[in-house]
Amino acid sequence: MVIVITGVTRGLGRALAEEFIAAGHTVVGCGRSGEGIIDLRFSHPAPQDFAVVDVTQMTKVELWADRVIGMHGAPDFLINNAALMNNPAPLWQVPVAEFDKLMAVNVGGVANVVRAFVPAMIKRGQGVIVNFSSGWGRSVAAEVAPYCASKWAIEGLTKALAEELPAGLAAVPLNPGVIDTDMLRQCWSGEASSYPKAATWAKAAAPFILGLGPKQNGQSVSVGDHE
């Protein structure tokens, strides 16, 4: 299968890419880190395909998607993982620029990637869009209001998208669970190390994601559900 993943250079995206590649799938990924993308290209040559892309820039996302679809066809799975966390603070203390950048990546970036890839998936008549939500997309916590808002937005955006898709496709908001990543350490440094590492998480998460399909269209799911 062809699996497109955003935010592929570190954290959950990198761990998923490694797991999917090990299972024999073709991973097409993007990230903002040029160093991370070069590392992936050296570690995983063709048919794996990695590019530096800022998902907040629609023109760049379109150019990337056109090249990917031309080379690999419409993806079987489109995984929107790229996201930012705000520095913990009460909402009124979060700088405007930090808030706007987070929303541009976490919400706008998902919409841009959907715009660029989903028409080809519709034309093909199949495919699954997995938009990463969070436990904080279904609950809240103090000092992470911008992140909570963005993930609640992903829940609503994905469920509405699910209503718009034709038969054979699915859009699923996925809570990956709590994993020890740089993002978790940014907001919860004292307890992050008590949670599973991304590579361990991916061994269960990768097959779980590949099991998602039209039956889960529009459903809020979490890694490990129905196991």
Residues acting as catalytic residues: 147
The number of residues making up the chain comes to 227
Sequence letter at residue 84 = L
Q: List phi, psi (to 5°) of 156.
A: -70, -45
How do 77-80 and 49-52 pair as beta strands?
unpaired
Surface-to-core class of residue 160, CB atoms within 10 Å of its CB (0-12 exposed, 13-18 middle, 19+ buried): exposed
- Cα gap 136→177, rounded to integer Å: 10
CA angle 35, 102, 4 (to 5 degrees): 55
Locate 95 and state its tokens. 């700088």
State the first-to-last Cα distance of the chain, in angstroms, to the nearest integer. 23
Residue 216 is classified by DSSP as G
Query: Are the CB atoms for 171 and 158 separated by under 8 Å?
Result: yes
